[in-house]
Structure 1
Amino acid sequence: MKSKIKDNLLKVKLTTMSKSILKLAVLTVLLTVLNCKNETQTVDFDYKYTETENALNCTDVDTKLIHEALLSFEDDIMKTYNTRSSDLRVAYTNFFRATQRKGVKYQEVVTPHSMEVFNALKNQSQLWNADNTLNYKADIFTCIGDNMKDKGLATTYKSLISVNSMRADIFGAPLLNKVKTANTDRYLAAFIALDLYYSKLFDVDPTQVTEKKIQEKTTYRTEPGKPLIKQKPATEKTDDHAGHNH
């Protein structure tokens, strides 16, 4: 009788020990996975825009990387979609219109630095779904909706995300008349950069990406906040206002 009791006690101890070992093994695996995941979150590259103020303020989001992505994107579209002036609004408008007619040749627009930034963005697991589409429930997109300057556009934006209907063909119409404000609304600009640019770079061949030649800007330009004015080059004889900013 005593022998059976001892055997039973031994079995209980062994079972308890086995469960403890199993729990420890599971915990070890989880910690290993988490550590590997954290390691993949960091991609080393040289930040080019650290001296430019970061206007993005989002909790639990690497806004330094998003800010770098935004400015690199803007540099790219200025080289392709506004070679005549320094007006970022023109580049945004021309780029957006090109996206609407599916006319953006991303392979030709993107620069090596933007590809480096893209590689870093790819390692932000929360930013993407399993099929490499954007995860609009990620913290960065919540932050964008909460801080977008145009409240009407923000309401539409949040509504589309809440019902899983954020698509370019739906959001494109309300965005059309607001895209030129992206140079002052940095949260809207961040959305455009992520949604209409970086999410499209998965099909780009990085080995074929080259630096783009910077064309010399002419005197055709407007200042932010002013109506678009087509001015004559300063080399021509014009009235007293030609070549000056208003």
Structure 2
Amino acid sequence: MNTRILKLVYILLITLIFNCKEENTTALIKYKYADQPETVTCNTEDDKLLKEALYSFENDIINTYDPQGKNKLRAYRAFVNNAIANRVTLESMVSSHTKTIFEALKTKKNLFDGTQLNYDNKLVNCLSTNIKDQSLKTTFNALVSTNSMSQQLFGPALRSNTSYTRDPYLQTFIALDYYYAKMNALDFSTLDVNANDQKQQSNNKIDFNKRPTIQPKQPVKVDDHAGHNH
């Protein structure tokens, strides 16, 4: 009897410690994008974090793939194409804010399965259920139901569809599966995220739309006496 009680107490303590760690990690995040439009509604405890994760991801890809025009559609297209071809260089993209968000996401139980999402996770199910494009949703669900879902198999359907530009649920899925999940393979001890921050700040300071001022040419004075001998 005493042994059972001790085991129960031990399990409760472990659960309490894990929950406290998860709450503390999330509480440490400075929500830079709190004033931006809402994104997904899946879980009241996680929605705020998912919103921050999405906006930070978009900031990273825009500064990487279209730092001049700041065109989100162009940045998404470039990122998706490079992600499917496994050509995304996370080391030069991830900001310190994104890294903090990733650390918080890692505390979410069974969210990741290595360098991809756990497609059986309730959160992933919420995202897939709310995908607006029916063709993509059908493809996604078919792959998951046959236990064959992978970034490589879903990638071609994703690349041929641009609905992610107006679908926050699909955008959040892309951010989590093709960006944050890949960070599980990064060694952050060798990564200088501050350098990436400085690069992004420099991009934001430069006004790429400002045209250089062209000074009008000064008229050349002609010496009426030139060439004359007096």
- Provide the residue aligned with 1:140 in structure 2: 123
Distance 2:125 2:56 in 1: 22
- Residues 195-235 of structure 1 show CA distances to partners (whole Å, capped at 9, x for unaligned) of 1100111233434222123423544xxxxxxxxxxxxx877
Corresponding residue number in structure 1 for 2:177: 195
Q: 1:34 aligns with which of 15, 18, 21?
A: 15
Q: Distance in 2 between the 1:133 and 1:149 partners?
A: 22
User: What is the aligned partner in structure 2 of residue 222 from structure 1?
Assistant: none
Distance of aligned partners of 1:152 and 1:132 in 2 relative to their CA distance in 1, 3 Å threshold: closer
User: How far does the alpha carbon of each residue in 1:41-85 deviate from its partner, in whole angstroms, 9 at most, with x for none?
Assistant: 231221111111222111465111111111000000000011231
Distance in 2 of aligned mates of 1:167 and 1:199: 12
| CA shift digits 1:82-117 (9 cap, x unpaired) | 123132010000111111222111000111110010
RMSD over equivalenced CA pairs, Å = 2.1
Aligned equivalents of 2:182 and 2:105: distance in 1?
12
Name the CA distance, whole Å, in 1 between partners of 2:130 and 2:20: 30
Cα distance in 2 between the residues matched to 1:132 and 1:193: 12
Unaligned runs of 5+ in 1: 1-18, 220-232, 237-246
Matched, 1:22 2:6: no
**Amino acid of the residue matched to residue 184 of structure 2?**
F
- Match in the other structure for 1:149: 132
Match 2:94 to one of 103, 110, 133: 110
Choose the corresponding residue for 2:103, options 94, 97, 119: 119
CA contact (8 A) 1:107 1:205 kept: no
Unaligned runs of 5+ in 2: 214-230
Question: What corresponds to 2:222 in structure 1?
Answer: none
Number of residues paired by the alignment? 202
- What SS does the aligned partner of 2:110 have? helix
Q: Are the counterparts in 1 of residues 106 and 112 from structure 2 also a CA contact under 8 Å?
A: yes
Superposed structure 1 runs of 4+ greater than 4 Å apart: 233-236
TM-score, with normalisation over the residues of structure 1?
0.75
Q: Which moved more, 1:145-154 or 1:95-104?
A: 95-104
CA distance in 1 between counterparts of 2:151 and 2:116 reads 13
TM-score, length-normalised on structure 2?
A: 0.80
Q: Which residue of 1 aligns with 2:221?
A: none
2:101 match: secondary structure: helix
Q: Which residue of 2 aligns with 1:64?
A: 48
2 CA distance for matches of 1:84 and 1:218?
6
Alignment correspondent of 2:144 = 161
Establish whether residue 97 from structure 1 lines up as the match of residue 81 from structure 2. yes
